[in-house]
Amino acid sequence: MTLLKKLATAAVALGLASSAMAQDTTKVGFIYVGPVGDGGWTYEHEQGRLALEEHFGDKVETVFQESVPEGADAERAITQMALNGADLIFTTSFGFMEPTLAVAKKFPDVKFEHATGFKTLPNVSTYSARFYEGRAVQGHIAGKMTESNIIGYIASFPIPEVIRGINSAYIHAKKVNPDVEFKIIWAYTWFDPAKEADAATALIEQGADVILQHTDSTAPQAAAEKAGDVITFGQASDMGEYAPLPRVSSIIDNWAPYYIERTQAVMDGTWESEQTWDGIGPGMVGIGEITDAVPADVKTEALALKEAMAKGEYHPFTGPLKKQDGSDWLAEGEVADDGTLLGMDFYVEGISGEIPN
């Protein structure tokens, strides 16, 4: 009897020990839309994952799956990760929104973080960066530097995040150059280097001498370099290998601090569903070095603009602004609220063309 008791106690102790050991490491999963070597969007998320591993050492175990298509297959990939014991899963593309919510309902104990989305659950947070602040800087430089007054824009999907970027860049290009015109191509892909290069080439052939991109690979940079006399901006990552020309600056996503903070919250048991949307100020959005190809005065103005946004003195969407159809949006001095920005589905006045549905 005593022996049995002892055995039972030992078993319970063992069980406790093993569960305690399991709690020691937090398993964090990442779902990527492109390959980790895309040189842009997914690359920066991967850098965040590596920083997370370095910060916590043995206390975290990270797993990732790359090139997960947006859609039904994403649900399978996320489910698999949850089944394999992940405590926290970051799904890093807009198109993973519905799959993330669907899986989150089935795994209430697992925490989910969806990038760039707007729907939450008690165990689903969203996080995104105010990329449009970086777009304002790009628009300023683009408007100043274009000689043909035609700026080409490679857009991915017609979602609010992309539309915000177009509007922000346009507003600030127009401000410094009233003759500026935007030509926009919807590539309907986040990652397809050949198509991105073709889109850049088409824009350049139609007279664009500045290319802005909202797709993930460095292909447009290569196409611009091949064409010559065209400037570009790094997207999501510095893309510094194309500096000083064609890449004259960049928007850099910095996810590492956020990933570390949220993983810490899961470890401490303080994780709660939140909607995080940080910009240049908190450091989630960085502006890559502005190269010497940009005239010194333009560079100074661009940096001043960046500084004003970082301090919160200036908001890229400040009135007076009208919508594309001519109706009033923001009155003089009025600043856009986050709700409108998060659901943005209209162009500002002056941009031609329609947003696809």
Partner 1 sequence: MDLGSINPVLLLASLMVAATPILIAALGELVAERAGVLNLGVEGMMITGAICGFAAAVNTGSPLVGFIAAALGGAGLSLLFAFLTQIALANQVASGLALTLFGLGLSALLGQGYQGIKPPPTGKLDIPLLGDIPGLGPVLFGHDIMVYFGLGLCAAVWGMLKYTRAGLILRAVGENHDAAHALGYKVVRVRILAILFGGACAGLGGAYISLIRVPQWTEGMTAGAGWIALALVVFASWKAGRVLLGAWLFGGVTVLQLNLQAAGSALPVEYLSMSPYLITILVLVIMSADKPRAPASLGRIFHASQ
Q: By the criterion CB under 8 A, which residues form the site for partner 1? A: 34-39, 67, 152, 158, 183-189, 191-195, 197-199, 201-203, 205-208, 217-219, 221-223, 225-226, 239, 241-242, 352-354, 356-357
Rank residues 217 and 263 by Cβ distance to partner 1 and give the closer one: 217
Rank residues 2 and 357 by Cβ distance to partner 1 and give the closer one: 357
Minimum distance between the CB of residue 63 and partner 1, rounded to whole angstroms? 17
Rank residues 124 and 169 by Cβ distance to partner 1 and give the closer one: 169
- DSSP-assigned letter for residue 77: H
d(CA 322, CA 354): 16
Rank residues 99 and 220 by Cβ distance to partner 1 and give the closer one: 220
Minimum distance between the CB of residue 153 and partner 1, rounded to whole angstroms? 9
**Do 30 and 233 contact (CB within 8 A), yes or no?**
no
Minimum distance between the CB of residue 70 and partner 1, rounded to whole angstroms? 14
Rank residues 141 and 219 by Cβ distance to partner 1 and give the closer one: 219
Minimum distance between the CB of residue 202 and partner 1, rounded to whole angstroms? 4
| Torsion, Cα of 70, 71, 73, 78 (10° steps) | 70
**Do 33 and 46 contact (CB within 8 A), yes or no?**
no
d(CA 228, CA 145): 15
Rank residues 78 and 223 by Cβ distance to partner 1 and give the closer one: 223
**Do 64 and 31 contact (CB within 8 A), yes or no?**
yes
Minimum distance between the CB of residue 195 and partner 1, rounded to whole angstroms? 7
**Do 170 and 184 contact (CB within 8 A), yes or no?**
no
CA distances from 118 to 59, 102, 340 (A): 30, 15, 12
For residue 150, give every residue at least 6 positions away whose Cβ sits within 8 Å of its Cβ, in sequence order, or none.
180, 181, 183, 206, 207, 208, 209, 210
Strands 328-330 and 321-322, bridge-based pairing? antiparallel
Rank residues 55 and 183 by Cβ distance to partner 1 and give the closer one: 183
Minimum distance between the CB of residue 251 and partner 1, rounded to whole angstroms? 17
**Do 92 and 115 contact (CB within 8 A), yes or no?**
yes
d(CA 199, CA 202): 5
Minimum distance between the CB of residue 224 and partner 1, rounded to whole angstroms? 11
Rank residues 240 and 282 by Cβ distance to partner 1 and give the closer one: 240
**Do 85 and 26 contact (CB within 8 A), yes or no?**
no
Which tokens hold the place of 315? 């908001």
Rank residues 26 and 156 by Cβ distance to partner 1 and give the closer one: 156
Minimum distance between the CB of residue 229 and partner 1, rounded to whole angstroms? 15
Strands of the chain, DSSP E: 26-31, 60-65, 88-91, 111-115, 124-129, 150-155, 181-186, 210-213, 231-234, 247-253, 275-278, 285-288, 321-322, 328-330
Minimum distance between the CB of residue 185 and partner 1, rounded to whole angstroms? 5
